[in-house]
A and B are shown apart, each in its own frame.
Chain A
């Protein structure tokens, strides 16, 4: 018996050459999933898993979502769990917080920047201060990472790719605290490779942990959300010139994973932060301040540099808009400046 089982377990290629016919093992075609679909999957799984989860927001039900992020959910779960709201951000943000206070787990979706203008009071004063459940936010032209990251009592996550989007929204829904999920709608339609683990219904990305997207030795580039992609592009270009960037995807704004950033800086001795938000009082400013306070400061060979959105209200004309957000060339320039090359 033991002999037979030993034979079975041995890899096929070691079996006698007489057995020529054998299965060809090829890797399955890598699954590509867009950020939009990843979020949709994440919400679907959580709606199925927990009766108390429900989604409310403008056009989330019958319209399938303004950006189609909630496509198919209303058809599957019905009026009770997927609720179309009138255009009343402050009102329904408050309703979401109240429902959470009473034990439900609402996903509150906002369509545009109106969110921060009208509903920020409910998110900060009602939700953050009284430890309730999740608020999910869609971002418009402005990056609210600094706004919400400023506030104790909230958790703030910022997904970049599909895997991030799914893992973080699931963690956010399951977290017993209010979580602001800064989705970047320019990323919704972008497909990414979806690793097998991410296809599981229990795939969660821990809140508060950054990910090293690309290993490097010369400089640490820290970013979140859409700019992570630009950093990787910049890193590819720089690699051809012999500069190896270590690109860190923060994934969580608050609580920030300083350990990962510090460890990287202590290895590379150089730091560039990249964000879409405005420079003053932003994510990059916070990272730099904390680096100075910690052990990594002594490992810096040059001052840390921030790459940010331009310090202007978002303009309309394409050329202006393009130059108001960090581009790949801006990142490359900052890296070279830091490395003095």
Chain B
């Protein structure tokens, strides 16, 4: 047995893989890939993950790095194509590392949104709050298909994207609660969060689409092979300015990936009641399109890679429709059950939940264990809890800063308040 392991590790010692869980003492073992169940290898039972918890914890180092497959291949749903000869691949390889990362990210978004729900009901968050639980595979999958140097803009259901584009849960929740530790110092709120190469967070339905085309124009202008992901929903898809943006993007071959996040309802109006054609991936007409299973993160990732490669090659814009679903209503003031049935929501939850789908795949292909994923759940819960504590305890921005940041790069000036005697200072 030892001879076999040694042989395998010698063969694969060239592989450049990082140790898992910081197990620096076992680099050679970590580089073994495609390990089967311990029983299949004829290894002692202690190496099998079904062993007792205590022993498991003690020998977690050995077990974790020895018992899991390093990657697995999965079949994914074929995308419907519009004006494309071929589409993204129908199989993909998921590495353990990526799987754990995606799982953690999706779970973080899920729990963050649920925490926001809770805080809203406690009236610690006010105003507009549009949650994206159910749509985690979209934000995490899109991010997995692009580079941090690419650009992304979306509408108001933006918390998930704010996270995947690099801001912390702390900054996001503190912004929702309107505190100075928020990413916009408490002055933006739910719909106005920004990060590097993430342009929000936009309240006017559809207006972000020409903005995204403009960012794509800048990408082309600067010549750095960057693309811009420009998202909108099934409701916004009927806005005229989107068609204006399609036209100019195609005319000037802008590297713009138009993405319709179709969650079947534009506020309380189902797609059938709003659109003469619900084939959103075809509505770009002369722009090629893909219809993607938006509940499957691997499908989203592959489609995004495909679309990004298409744009980077200079062929112009492309359109992706992500078929997804939101569990919450349109916003926190919408219970979400007057225009759809609870049964429908329940069915999606039980059959198509994106986190559940990833989990099942990983566990069934031995990329991770149920317990390991549960541990991630616990860690995520703690992170969210800490962030919520911060978001609740952090003070509001000071009143003196009411007039700040009206202009950029300008010398300070005075701003009138509610009457001519109340003045605020404005600093850039």
Q: Which residue of A lies closest to B239 (CB)?
A: A90
- Report chain B residues within 8 Å CB of A323: none
A98 with B244, Cβ < 8 A, contacts A83-B252, A131-B408, A176-B408 known: no
Cα(A174)–Cα(B216), bound, Å? 22
Q: Is the CB of A94 within 8 A of B221?
A: no
Whether B204 is near chain A, meaning CB under 8 Å from some CB there, is: yes
Q: Is the CB of B244 within 8 A of A99?
A: no
A94 with B207, Cβ < 8 A, contacts A99-B218, A102-B151, A131-B405 known: yes
Q: Is the CB of A125 within 8 A of B248?
A: no
Q: Is the CB of B247 within 8 A of A88?
A: yes
A98 with B408, Cβ < 8 A, contacts A91-B247, A104-B218 known: no
Q: Which residue of B lies closest to A177 (CB)?
A: B407
- Report chain A residues within 8 Å CB of B244: 86, 88, 90-92
Q: Is the CB of B247 within 8 A of A98?
A: no
Cα(A36)–Cα(B408), bound, Å? 29
- Report chain A residues within 8 Å CB of B251: 86
Q: Mark B385-428, 1 if CB is under 8 A from A, else 0.
A: 00000000000000000000111111001010000100000000
Chain B: minimal CB distance from A119 (Å): 9
Chain A: minimal CB distance from B197 (Å): 9
Q: Is the CB of B221 within 8 A of A98?
A: no
Cα(A54)–Cα(B204), bound, Å? 26
Cα(A250)–Cα(B213), bound, Å? 36
Identify which of B221, B222, B409, B413 contacts A176 (C-beta below 8 A).
B409
Q: Is the CB of A98 within 8 A of B210?
A: yes
Q: Is the CB of A90 within 8 A of B214?
A: no
- Report chain B residues within 8 Å CB of A99: 214-215, 217-218, 221
Cα(A100)–Cα(B248), bound, Å? 17
Whether B240 is near chain A, meaning CB under 8 Å from some CB there, is: yes
Q: Is the CB of A102 within 8 A of B214?
A: yes
Q: Mark A91-111, 1 if CB is under 8 A from B, else 0.
A: 111111111111110100000
- Report chain B residues within 8 Å CB of A98: 153, 199, 210-218
Within 8 A of B (CB), among A68-89: 80, 83, 85-86, 88
Cα(A103)–Cα(B222), bound, Å? 10
A91 with B407, Cβ < 8 A, contacts A54-B221, A255-B413 known: no
Chain A: minimal CB distance from B224 (Å): 11
Q: Is the CB of B219 within 8 A of A102?
A: yes
Identify which of B203, B228, B241, B410 contacts A94 (C-beta below 8 A).
B241
Chain A: minimal CB distance from B210 (Å): 2
Q: What band does the interface of chain B fall in when counting residues whose beta carbon is under 8 Å from A?
A: 35 or more
Q: Which residue of B lies closest to A133 (CB)?
A: B408
Cα(A88)–Cα(B214), bound, Å? 13
- Report chain B residues within 8 Å CB of A96: 214
Cα(A90)–Cα(B214), bound, Å? 12
- Report chain B residues within 8 Å CB of A94: 207, 209-211, 213-214, 241, 245
Cα(A90)–Cα(B241), bound, Å? 6
Q: Which residue of B lies closest to A56 (CB)?
A: B217
Whether A303 is near chain B, meaning CB under 8 Å from some CB there, is: no
Chain A: minimal CB distance from B421 (Å): 9
Identify which of A54, A91, A125, A153 contacts B241 (C-beta below 8 A).
A91
A153 with B207, Cβ < 8 A, contacts A91-B245, A91-B248 known: no
- Report chain B residues within 8 Å CB of A255: 413
Identify which of B153, B207, B216, B420 contacts A122 (C-beta below 8 A).
B207
Q: Which residue of A lies closest to B218 (CB)?
A: A102
- Report chain A residues within 8 Å CB of B408: 131, 176-177
Cα(A122)–Cα(B252), bound, Å? 21
A91 with B210, Cβ < 8 A, contacts A125-B204, A177-B407 known: yes
Within 8 A of A (CB), among B170-229: 199-200, 202-204, 207, 209-219, 221-222, 228
Q: Which residue of B lies closest to A79 (CB)?
A: B252
Whether A338 is near chain B, meaning CB under 8 Å from some CB there, is: no
Q: Is the CB of B207 within 8 A of A126?
A: yes
Chain B: minimal CB distance from A200 (Å): 23
Cα(A99)–Cα(B252), bound, Å? 14
Cα(A101)–Cα(B247), bound, Å? 21
- Report chain B residues within 8 Å CB of A131: 405-408
Whether A14 is near chain B, meaning CB under 8 Å from some CB there, is: no
Identify which of B200, B209, B228, B410 contacts A177 (C-beta below 8 A).
B410
- Report chain A residues within 8 Å CB of B219: 102
Q: Is the CB of A95 within 8 A of B214?
A: yes
Identify which of A97, A102, A121, A155 contacts B407 (C-beta below 8 A).
A155
Cα(A106)–Cα(B406), bound, Å? 20
A104 with B221, Cβ < 8 A, contacts A94-B245, A155-B407 known: yes
Cα(A80)–Cα(B409), bound, Å? 28
- Report chain B residues within 8 Å CB of A102: 151, 199, 214-215, 218-219, 228
Whether A315 is near chain B, meaning CB under 8 Å from some CB there, is: no
- Report chain B residues within 8 Å CB of A293: 420
Whether A152 is near chain B, meaning CB under 8 Å from some CB there, is: yes
Chain A: minimal CB distance from B258 (Å): 13
Chain A: minimal CB distance from B85 (Å): 28
- Report chain A residues within 8 Å CB of B202: 126
Q: Which residue of B lies closest to A290 (CB)?
A: B420
Within 8 A of A (CB), among B364-390: none
Q: Is the CB of A101 within 8 A of B214?
A: yes
Identify which of A92, A101, A103, A177 contacts B248 (C-beta below 8 A).
A92
Cα(A191)–Cα(B394), bound, Å? 60
Shortest 8 CB-CB contacts between residues of A and residues of B: A98-B214, A94-B210, A91-B244, A102-B218, A98-B211, A88-B244, A95-B214, A99-B214
Q: Which residues of A contact B (CB under 8 A)?
A: 54, 80, 83, 85-86, 88, 90-104, 106, 121-122, 125-126, 130-131, 152-153, 155, 176-177, 255, 293
A-B contact pairs, 27 of them (CB 8 A): A86-B244, A86-B247, A86-B251, A90-B240, A90-B244, A91-B210, A91-B213, A92-B210, A94-B207, A94-B210, A94-B241, A95-B210, A98-B214, A99-B215, A100-B214, A101-B211, A102-B214, A102-B215, A103-B218, A104-B218, A121-B207, A122-B210, A125-B203, A126-B211, A131-B405, A131-B406, A155-B407
Given contacts A88-B244, A94-B210, A130-B200, 19 further A-B pairs with CB under 8 A are: A85-B248, A90-B210, A90-B240, A91-B213, A91-B248, A92-B244, A94-B241, A94-B245, A95-B245, A97-B210, A98-B213, A98-B214, A99-B214, A102-B228, A125-B204, A126-B207, A131-B406, A131-B408, A152-B406
